[in-house]
Structure 1
Amino acid sequence: MKRFFFILSLMCILMASFAVPVFATEKEGSITKQEQQQIINVAHRGASAHAPENTMAAFQKAVEMKSDYIEIDVQMTEDEELVVIHDTTVDRTTNGTGAVGDLTLEEIRMLDAGSWFSEEFAGEKIPTFEEVLDAFRGKVGILIELKSPGLYPGIEEEVAETLKERNMDRANNEKIIIQSFNHESMKQSKALLPEIPHGVLAGTSWADVTDEQLAAFATYADYFNPNQNIVTLELVNRVHVAGMQMMPYTSRSQEQADRLFHLGVDGIITDYPEHVYNHPVKNN
């Protein structure tokens, strides 16, 4: 009888140990090579610290720097063509002026999107979504941000159709993620592309996100990607408990990347891909 109760007690202890959720703990100092390799390195608008953002040059540089993903911003022209640019106007990153949605693709293709960064990149063009997909699929993952989709009715369908035409809408692809600050847009996109991971972007106003809100996001999103300034160890753990991963944006210094490493995030969206690889690594 004593043997029976001993075995029963042992089984209860083992079952309890498996029931306890595993939480991230803040790491100190260097990390292992394995831990470093598990961090998803996302080049923000390409390697945008080294080449003009959202251009083929920036994306190619990110590939050369061995990023896991390039992050691109997708909008729509007046003639309903998908183009890759961050701002809703062309003023900041080209030699032109005006809203992206008020210009035709032909007009946008005439703009210089590189000289503002450096004369070395003079003549760089705003690429189309199709050009980026065709040039980089199979070479690097692509994190697609739908930028201000409320300005472009139907953009979710256009993006979905473009991916489907290339058989890039399948779960075994594992190299496409779609995200947006517009969470309703992500619900629509997930319905169109159920096998593709989706993410919700969260600004600083989401610092006090509740568990209920995270659970609601998790019904259609695989990632909760917040502004790095609101990331805490507690938030990382709560996102993981909700069944999502976290890739904060936008790291622009080694110190910022190191902090995110220590908090146990799943990936880092950065202008400097080298920062993700420069974190001190200890020998196993």
Structure 2
Amino acid sequence: MKNNFIKILKFEIFYKIITIIILLPFLNKVLQMYLNNHSAVGIVFNQNILFGFFSFKGILVVLFLLVYSLLIVLYEYSVIINMISLYVKQRPFRIYEVMKVSFINLKGLKHPSIIICGLYYLLILPLAHIGYLNALIPSFKVPNFIFGELSLTFSGNILIVLIYLLYYGVYLLLLFVPFYMILKKENFIKAFKDNFALYKKLEIKDRFILIAILVIWFIVETKIIMLLPDAVIKNTDFNRFFLRNMIISARFRIYFFEYLVYTFITIIGMYFFYYFYLKIINKYDQELLNVNLDHEISQKLDNTLIQTKLKASNLTKFINKYILTNKFYLKHTFIINTILIISVVILITCLFSDSIYLISVLLIIILFLYFIASIYNFYELKTTGKSSILDNRNSAIFYPYQIIKRYLSQSKLYKKHPKIISFILITMSGLLISMYLQLPGKIHQPIIIGHRGSKYGVENTYEAIIKAQNNHSDYAEIDVQLSKDGIPVVIHDTNLLRLAHLDREVSSMTANELEKVTVYERQYQGNIITLDHLLKKLKKEKIKLLIELKADNNQIELSEKVINIVEQNNFENRTIYMSLDYEIVEFLQEKRPEWWIGYCIYGSAGQIDASIWKLKIDFLAVEENMITVNFVDKANSNWIPIYVWSVDDKIKMDQYLDIGVSGIITNYPDRSYEVVKKYLEKNHQYYPYQIINNGSLQPIIN
């Protein structure tokens, strides 16, 4: 069993690396190419993620990405299930052989049920996250804000339970489908029928064992997550800045260590999950496990590889005979090689724009190793009078130095001025490394924003906002929408049922009627208030406001009225603004470009780069499930501060601050205050912007 597990571990490590450095970047490249042609900034947010693909080309791209992702995921399952089934049958195998023949197990995808199959493998299994784990989509969670909103009402809590029952129920119903699709090479529909037939055969004892395995997995994983709260690294964090983060950030090294521990434990769990389930299946369907390595297919693949090697060998001979021994090439070797290298780099970067960053990192690593080897060479010459680096074939550290030295030896300039050229290369390596290790700074000192005021009062009421102020909030976030008579009122829901137990729409009542309504939340009660009355009551207070505009096909009217009320009350220097509706963000930026205006987002597709400035946003208010080291790094690199919502857990607050967010939107400002205070005591850095006394954000002028 130990040897078999080691084989699976080796494959999982290999496949994880291949997924991160090849398969996932290709998927992102296809997506990015489409978005670059159909979006002004190469990235879409919120509902536009769906609407952005409502075209013939968009549907084709989605189908391609679905099939491509499905192949990646199912192939990984195929290799692991084949290896464990061979072990259960006590048949020896080699990883390479299993990997080759596992391609044949993908036959079941050639069927109209591929769409349903994709939803099952790419959505249901990652949602359940029990047993069937994969490198491409390790897990998938329902965004916290969805369950957060639903949990505020009794009916919402019932709906949450029903959602859990739905996807765990589907998971249980289709539990054996992957085994039949892979081992019998069946399509999804046929595998479902065989899966259902197997369920009928199961004895009560075995059904109990199946359920027990699932429950144990759930409990153990929950416990592991509690013990490893910093295992927050995602696939996207293995990017060009991974090495920098490992060198610079002690916290990132902890993230990576806990990620490795968590991954190792889940691979162990996955191994036993497959093993015990296959033992149960073998008890009722012995034909299923009669896996034979298809040596004919394996031989064909080997022959293809041999033919490829022969062609490559012939090409090498041709190059050696007609190019490398050519008199012109021999005379101008250095110049020709330099032109070829530059041409290849330009071609690669034109075809794959992101590759310039990877090439830069590779160059930095090579120059760093050259720098280390140069120091060693200098020390060796100083102490022994001779150098052994060029003749040392056993050390990978010296390999870049050897290559560069041999390359430079072809240059007449280097032969004439070796010390000057070496000094230039060493200086370049030092500069590039220092530039690479430079972390993107935060735009301003972290701020605390009370979500809908705070939980120490009824949301969006004056009392909740004052409690936010008393608990050290820099800002109180409030929601504003229009009443029936077109007056901005401070309330989140469009219906009063949850807070006032009154089944009336906000848009069906006048502002005067709404202000008479009493709202309740836990042990608190209060009254709905108009934006105008709220600003008047807050004039003598210190709290600032983050106003979120919530429109219902009245974006322009709502925006204009908010502008008028804020300016009439001279409150513009104590407010910042955001909306889920980009039309509102765009309108506010056009009318008041000097204001601090952000875009509130709960999802995105595409990569953040400098083109995001075309959106004319000052910050992003991001749902916490979107936060990754990579996402925040890119935002900070492009001078877009990130405010994360809604975070109530202290451990997560600390993680997000360390990752680089500039603001915490929370229901409990007192918790956030403690975390931010400790963070600022530990971390001292320069912030180009500051929050001045009246609440506005202004650049620091030295």
> What per-residue deviation string (whole Å, max 9, x for no partner) do you get for residues 190-245 of structure 1?
11211111110111x31x34225x73355411001111111011101111122211
What TM-score, normalized by structure 1, do the two folds share? 0.80
User: Which of the numbers 549, 552, 561 marks the counterpart of 1:146?
Assistant: 549
> What per-residue deviation string (whole Å, max 9, x for no partner) do you get for residues 113-141 of structure 1?
1x3432xx34x110110122222246112
Identify if the C-alpha distance between structure 1 residues 218 and 45 changes in structure 2 by more than 3 Å, giving closer, same or farther: farther
Say whether the 8 Å CA contact 2:462–2:534 is kept in structure 1: yes
The yes-or-no answer on 1:250 pairing with 2:641 is no
Aligned pairs for 1:159-238 within 5 A: 159-169=562-572, 173=573, 175-203=574-602, 205-206=603-604, 208-211=605-608, 215-216=611-612, 219-238=615-634
What is the alpha-carbon distance in structure 2 between the residues aligned to residue 239 and residue 107 of structure 1? 43
Say whether the 8 Å CA contact 1:75–1:82 is kept in structure 2: yes
What is the alpha-carbon distance in structure 1 between the residues aligned to residue 480 and residue 606 of structure 2? 27
Q: Which has the higher strand share?
A: 1
> What per-residue deviation string (whole Å, max 9, x for no partner) do you get for residues 139-158 of structure 1?
11210000135355510110
The yes-or-no answer on 1:80 pairing with 2:483 is no
Say whether the 8 Å CA contact 2:457–2:521 is kept in structure 1: no
Sequence identity (%): 25
State the shift of 1:112 in Å: 0.7
State the shift of 1:252 in Å: 2.1
Identify if the C-alpha distance between structure 1 residues 15 and 131 changes in structure 2 by more than 3 Å, giving closer, same or farther: farther
> What per-residue deviation string (whole Å, max 9, x for no partner) do you get for residues 152-202 of structure 1?
551011011112223334xxx2x3111011011110111121111111011
Larger relative contact order, structure 1 or 2 (CA cutoff 8 Å, min sep 6): 1
User: Which of the numbers 153, 156, 160 marks the counterpart of 2:559?
Assistant: 156
Identify if the C-alpha distance between structure 1 residues 226 and 11 changes in structure 2 by more than 3 Å, giving closer, same or farther: same
State the shift of 1:80 in Å: 0.7
Say whether the 8 Å CA contact 2:456–2:464 is kept in structure 1: yes
The yes-or-no answer on 1:117 pairing with 2:522 is yes
What is the alpha-carbon distance in structure 2 between the residues aligned to residue 209 and residue 130 of structure 1? 39
State the shift of 1:248 in Å: 0.9
Task: Give the partner amino acid of 1:161.
Answer: N
State the partner residue of 1:29: none
The yes-or-no answer on 1:128 pairing with 2:535 is no
Identify if the C-alpha distance between structure 1 residues 110 and 186 changes in structure 2 by more than 3 Å, giving closer, same or farther: same
What is the alpha-carbon distance in structure 2 between the residues aligned to residue 39 and residue 57 of structure 1? 25
Identify if the C-alpha distance between structure 1 residues 261 and 66 changes in structure 2 by more than 3 Å, giving closer, same or farther: same
Number of residue pairs matched?
258
Task: Give the partner amino acid of 1:158.
Answer: K
Q: Which runs of 5+ in 1 are unaligned?
A: 26-34
Task: Give the partner amino acid of 2:570.
Answer: N
Identify if the C-alpha distance between structure 1 residues 240 and 166 changes in structure 2 by more than 3 Å, giving closer, same or farther: same
Identify if the C-alpha distance between structure 1 residues 142 and 18 changes in structure 2 by more than 3 Å, giving closer, same or farther: farther
What is the alpha-carbon distance in structure 1 between the residues aligned to residue 508 and residue 613 of structure 2? 33
Q: Secondary structure at the match of 1:86?
A: coil
Q: Which runs of 5+ in 2 are unaligned?
A: 1-416, 683-702
Q: Secondary structure at the match of 1:92?
A: helix
What RMSD, in angstroms, separates the aligned Cα atoms of the two structures?
Answer: 3.0
What is the alpha-carbon distance in structure 2 between the residues aligned to residue 24 and residue 13 of structure 1? 20
